[in-house]
Every structure is written in C-alpha cells, then in structure tokens.
Amino acid sequence: MDPDLLADIRVAVAQLCANFGGEYWRGLDRDMIYPTEFVAALTEAGWLSVLIPEEFGGGGLPLSAAAAILEEIQRSGGNGSACHAQMYTMGTILRHGSAEQKRRYLPAIASGELRLQAFGVTEPTSGTNTGALRTRAVRDGDEYVVNGQKIWTSRAEHSDLMVLLVRTTPLTDGMKPTDGLSVLLVDMRDTVGHGLTIRPIRTMMNHATTEVFFDDLRVPAANLIGEEGRGFRYILAGMNAERILIAAECVGDAKWFIDTAVAYAQQRSVFGRPIAEHQGVQFPIARAYANMRAAELMVQEALGRYESGGDCGAEANMAKMLAADASFEAANVCIQTHGGFGFAEEYDIERKFRETRLYQVAPISTNLILSYLGEHVLGMPRSY
C-alpha cells in the first residue's frame, strides 16, 4: 500500500484518538462500560469499514490499512478490542456469502447501521479443540433449530449480528471432527429472549465478553453462509487476517509502553539523577524496543504475504506470538520503570498491562502457535 497514504491514515487515527484520553478509558474500565462514543467516532470516520470493498460502501483498502488503524488506537493508550472485530468478522460473508447475503449485509455493516462484531466459536467444554464443539443446528423446513452454548463471545451485547459456528452433521466414527460444522449468521436483534440468552462475564479487563445460550433458537436457513458442513474451513480462512491484526495491536501496545517508560525514566529523579541514567533501567527498555521492532517486521512480512495472496499461515502465527510477547514484555518493563507508580490507576499502565495480557491466550494461545510451527513448518509430530 502507498506509504504516504498509510502515514496519513495513522495521523488521522491518532488525531481522533487524542479526543479519548486516559481519563476516558479509565472511567470505562472502572465500571466495565462499553466505549460507545469512541466506537461511534471510529464508525463515523469510516475507519471500521476499510476492508469492505468500495462496491459495498466500504473503503476498499488492504489489510495494511486496518493494521495501521488498530496499531494507532493501541499506541494512543486506547483499546481497539471493543470494535476490532467489526473490521474483519464480515470477511466470512465477503469470502463465502451468496450475492444476496453480500448485497443485504455488507453495505449496512459498512455504514455502521448493522454491527457484526460477535463471533461464536469457543465453547466451555471444547476449548481450543474446535472439532469437539457441541452446539447443534438441526434443519426444520426453511429454518435451523439451534441448541447449545458458547463462551467468551465478545461484544455480543453490542452487536446486531453474530457469526456462529455450529455442528450440522453429528460426529460419527471415522469422520474428521472438523467436518460437519456450518456457519450461521444470527440476527440477535430479533432473537434475544426468543431462544437466545446473553450473560456478561466479568473479566480482568473491560472486554465486553459474554456467554451465550441457545434454546431452540430458530435461524432462517437463508442465513447459512456457504455450504453446509464446510464451516470450519470458512472460519479458518479468516484466522490469518485476525492474527495479523491482533499482532498489529500488540505492536501498538508495545510502542505505548516503551514511550511511556522512556519519558518517565528521563523525568524521574532519585539519588540526585534521572533513573534513565542507570543501565539497569535503560537496558530492559532497550531490549523491549528491539523485540518490538522484530515483531513489527514479522507483522510486515505477514501483511506482505497476505496481500500478495501467498500462504501466510506461519508468518501470521509468528507475528501474533512475537508481538504478544513483545507487548507483554514492554508492559512488564513499563511497570518496573515506574516503581510503585506503575500500579496506580491514574497512570494507565496497570490497565494496559491487564488488557495486553489477553493476547497470550486469545484468539489463539501461544502453545497452539508453537505446536502449529512444530508440526506444519518444522515437520515434527502432532502432539494432540
């Protein structure tokens, strides 16, 4: 993508974020409130629809643009997790939906009239083992009847639509566990209280995550995305983009922690000199910087491969792992540099520390990335 255009996007997003400073995020964090005004401002400015093609009313920009937007949000001290999924969850419709589904949903998602930022895959008993999921959808005339439960379905209370992965063909002996799964687009506006129950889960950070229960929920068969039974492949196809974008967010977090640590170390004086003069303070920050830059280069490599249509599975996974490690290292160093003040709410560090910790686990945990690399890149045996 044109570097000047990318630079302009960064400046514009940073200017928007400057209206939502630490005090705004701290207030929401304290009471676990969704950042409605921030998300509305991003929507109005068109930043959440950049990946939707222009013919459907979006920006028609490549993944690099979305990565730059999310990185800038995190770098400003904000938290894009409240709305990052609005950018990429629509990819399932874009890639696998029918012409009618695209025409019906994409323009409304691009304008912000419809929010599609809930993604129901994880279940309490299946966890990382998606093939073991139990939520069932049984065809009944021109509807599916859905029963089961999802957990960690983030933003479900702040979304109109949900991309839901369900089992449509019962698992039988000899069948590949990831076969027989299908993707349904659930319109939650009509169904909450009619077969769909959403319960918020309080977590260590303000993430609007929930558990969702399906009790004979009726979903029109017209809301099946793609072919029945091929849902796992469709979900998998969107995972590289998600991992690259989360990695870009982690790079943004790491930059915020490093800038914050450097500024404080230069201004904080003890024993008659700035603490930045001590190598014991300086070196951990410098190491965090080097690791952030290495992760940033892997994000660029993954973006390049993704945008040229090449296989980017290894790079997307490595970018996500390295960037999540870099942001968490920088978070830890930032607290250490601040001494006791690192724990005080008003500095925002402890909030950002909690927020960035998530990316060691979600949307894929570090162990699963390592086992992907061990098996698919290095050719070692699968361990599970």
Ligand X SMILES: Cc1cc2nc3c(=O)[nH]c(=O)nc-3n(C[C@H](O)[C@H](O)[C@H](O)COP(=O)(O)OP(=O)(O)OC[C@H]3O[C@@H](n4cnc5c(N)ncnc54)[C@H](O)[C@@H]3O)c2cc1C
H-helix segments, the chain: 3-17, 22-31, 36-44, 63-75, 84-88, 91-96, 99-111, 188-191, 231-267, 279-307, 313-338, 349-357, 366-372
Least separation in angstroms between residue 19's CB and ligand X is 26
DSSP summary character for residue 157? G
Least separation in angstroms between residue 202's CB and ligand X is 11
Q: Is the peptide bond before 363 cis (omega within 30 degrees of 0)?
A: yes
Least separation in angstroms between residue 60's CB and ligand X is 26
Looking at beta carbons only, is 207 or 320 nearer to ligand X? 207
Looking at beta carbons only, is 111 or 371 nearer to ligand X? 371
H-helix segments, 129-202: 188-191
Dihedral over alpha carbons 61, 307, 242, 189 (to 10 degrees): 40
Quick check: 215 and 195 in contact, CB under 8 A? yes
Which of 242, 229, 343, 330 has its CA nearest to residue 287?
330
Q: Are strands 224-225 and 181-187 parallel, antiparallel or unpaired?
A: antiparallel
Enumerate residues 6+ apart whose C-beta is below 8 A from 147. 135, 136, 214, 215, 216, 217
Least separation in angstroms between residue 276's CB and ligand X is 35
- CA-to-CA distance for 339 and 4, rounded, in angstroms? 39
- Point out which residues pair with 213 in neighbouring strands: 149, 197
Looking at beta carbons only, is 191 or 203 nearer to ligand X? 203
Looking at beta carbons only, is 121 or 217 nearer to ligand X? 121
Least separation in angstroms between residue 11's CB and ligand X is 30
Q: How many CB atoms lie within 10 A of CB 222?
A: 12
Looking at beta carbons only, is 217 or 333 nearer to ligand X? 217
Which of 147, 129, 127 has its CA nearest to residue 137?
147
Residue 170: what are its φ and ψ, rounded to 5°? -60, 145
Least separation in angstroms between residue 317's CB and ligand X is 13
**Residues within the interface to ligand X (CB under 6 A):** 119-122, 127-128, 152-154, 203, 207, 209, 358, 361-365, 367-368, 371, 383-384
Least separation in angstroms between residue 320's CB and ligand X is 12
Nearest residue to the partner ligand X, using Cβ: 127
Least separation in angstroms between residue 212's CB and ligand X is 10
Looking at beta carbons only, is 6 or 361 nearer to ligand X? 361
Looking at beta carbons only, is 49 or 153 nearer to ligand X? 153
Looking at beta carbons only, is 179 or 375 nearer to ligand X? 375
Enumerate residues 6+ apart whose C-beta is below 8 A from 143. 218, 219, 220, 221
